[in-house]
């Protein structure tokens, strides 16, 4: 049964990893259990139980052990990784669907974007946007119309593009069906894209 240490501030599964880490570092330093026991002023039985996960670690034990092994406390106390899952949110802006694939705090924002198909018998007049940064996109399905400066290209499923967003740019579906793509850009790029709109004519 895992031990519980009150007031440790660490979950039980983190505490149970400290003993094996001590043993691993001791062996890397080519120290016997008896040698570390004498150097740290901890009984061999206590150290043995600690390494085996049968004794709850505390600062009175860890600090002298870390000192004798030439380590910092961070080397013995594993950091608890945050939940890596990204909360999924969806926004609809002018008929375009944005699904978040990155955390709000991420230095770059990643979205799955679904652009509606081109209206039957109608055309869309580009309203290019300009902002700092670069954008990378990958077409998942459908055909994408990308206007970049004076040129216009059509990208199909499996094709990717990367461009300087200081160049006027605009995108829409190239046909009657919707187009899905992955897009990665800076927070400034996110702001511009969520405001951008296409004008059906």
Cβ contact 78:14 at 8 Å = yes
Bigger pLDDT: 127 or 101?
Answer: 101
Per the DSSP assignment, residues forming a β-bridge with 186 are: 108
Q: Determine the pLDDT at residue 189.
A: 63
- Going by pLDDT thresholds of 50, 70 and 90, the confidence category of residue 131 is confident
Mean pLDDT of 14-34: 87
86 secondary structure, DSSP code = P
Mean pLDDT computed over 140-168: 94
List the one residue out of 57, 58, 32, 62 whose CA is nearest residue 44: 32
Q: Would the pLDDT of 198 be above 50?
A: no
Q: What angle do CA 192, 151, 190 make, to 5 degrees?
A: 15
Q: What is the pTM of this model?
A: 0.58
> Does 9 score more than 50 pLDDT?
no
Is 6 a residue whose pLDDT tops 80? no
How high is the pLDDT of residue 200?
39
pLDDT at 173: 93
Q: pLDDT confidence of 147, banded at 50, 70, 90?
A: very high
Give the list of residues 6+ apart from residue 76 with CB closer than 8 angstroms, or none.
18, 21, 22, 25, 62, 65, 66
How does residue 108 score in pLDDT terms, banded at 50, 70 and 90?
confident
DSSP state for residue 113 in the 8-state scheme? E
Q: What is the pLDDT of residue 183?
A: 94
């Amino acid at each position: 049964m895992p031990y519980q240490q009150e007031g440790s501030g660490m979950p039980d599964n983190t505490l149970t990893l400290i003993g094996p880490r001590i043993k691993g570092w001791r062996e890397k330093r080519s120290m016997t259990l008896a040698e570390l026991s004498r150097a740290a002023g901890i009984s061999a039985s206590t150290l043995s139980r600690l390494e085996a996960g049968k004794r709850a670690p505390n600062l009175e034990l860890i600090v002298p052990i870390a000192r004798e092994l030439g380590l910092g406390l961070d080397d013995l106390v594993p950091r608890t990784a945050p939940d890596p899952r990204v909360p999924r949110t969806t926004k609809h802006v002018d008929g375009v669907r944005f699904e978040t694939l990155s955390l709000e705090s991420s230095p770059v924002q990643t979205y799955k974007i679904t652009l509606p198909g081109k209206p039957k018998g109608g055309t869309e007049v580009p309203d290019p946007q300009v902002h700092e940064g670069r954008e990378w996109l990958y077409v998942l399905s459908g055909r994408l119309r990308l206007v970049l400066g004076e040129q216009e290209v059509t990208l199909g499923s499996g094709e990717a593009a990367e461009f300087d967003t200081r160049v006027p740019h605009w995108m829409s579906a190239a046909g009657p069906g919707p187009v899905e793509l992955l897009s990665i850009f800076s927070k400034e790029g996110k702001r511009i894209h969520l405001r951008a709109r296409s004008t059906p004519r």
